[in-house]
């Protein structure tokens, strides 16, 4: 499994996701441009000392990501999706795509995704934090594919 972040715009969320990837052995793709000046020092506070354990791949644009990405389905987490993530059958090489915290992803990216997954929420509430959403869905994907690291 892999995480892919489409044009992230909140540095602490990116740092949290890099820490999540490092701890679970999941590479993180960053699709630029970011909504902030990207630098490793700016992420140190939220990622702490986990950055050296993170597998980070940066892509200049969505187009470059599509040509450079590893094999695997692109699964978009979206509030506009109809399929609950826990009803989906994950594969070990899936790429979980997360949109910008403030804007999601453009329609062209929606159309490129192989599947769109939803975290069902209570009526009247819009969304949860992108890092929290990633952790929930990644956890289910790793559970289904026996992809969690082996302790010890």
Domain ranges of the chain: 2-144
Summarised one tens digit per residue, pLDDT across range 78-129 is 999 999 999 999 999 999 999 998 899 999 999 999 999 999 999 999 999 9
Give the rounded percent of residues in the chain with a pLDDT score beyond 70: 92
Task: Reply yes or no on whether the pLDDT at 46 is more than 60.
Answer: no
Give the rounded percent of residues in the chain with a pLDDT score beyond 90: 80
- Domain 2-144 is found in CATH 3.40.50.170: no
What is the DSSP track for the chain?
A: -EEEEES---HHHHHHHHHHHHHHT--EEEESPPSS---HHHHHHHHGGGGGG--EEEESSHHHHHHHSPSS-EEEE-TT--EEGGGS---TT-EEEE-BTTTB--HHHHHH-SEEEE----TT-----HHHHHHHHHHHHHHHTT-SPPP-
* pLDDT of res. 12: 86
Looking at the whole model, is its pTM more than 0.85?
Answer: yes
Task: Reply yes or no on whether the pLDDT at 47 is more than 70.
Answer: no
Summarised one tens digit per residue, pLDDT across range 49-62 is 788 899 999 999 99
């Amino acid at each position: 499994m892999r995480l892919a972040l489409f044009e992230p715009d909140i540095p602490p969320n990116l740092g949290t996701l890099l820490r999540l990837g490092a701890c679970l052995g999941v590479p993180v793709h960053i699709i630029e441009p970011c909504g902030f000046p990207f630098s490793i020092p700016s992420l140190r506070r939220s990622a702490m000392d986990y950055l050296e354990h993170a597998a980070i791949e940066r892509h200049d644009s969505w187009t470059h990501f599509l040509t450079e990405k590893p094999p695997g389905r692109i699964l978009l987490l979206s509030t506009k999706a109809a399929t609950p993530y826990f009803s989906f059958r994950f594969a070990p090489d899936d790429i979980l795509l997360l949109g910008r915290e403030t804007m999601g992803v453009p329609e062209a990216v929606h159309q490129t995704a192989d599947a769109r997954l939803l975290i069902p929420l209570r009526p009247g509430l819009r969304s949860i934090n992108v890092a929290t959403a990633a952790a929930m869905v990644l956890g289910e994907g790793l559970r289904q594919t026996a992809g969690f690291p082996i302790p010890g």
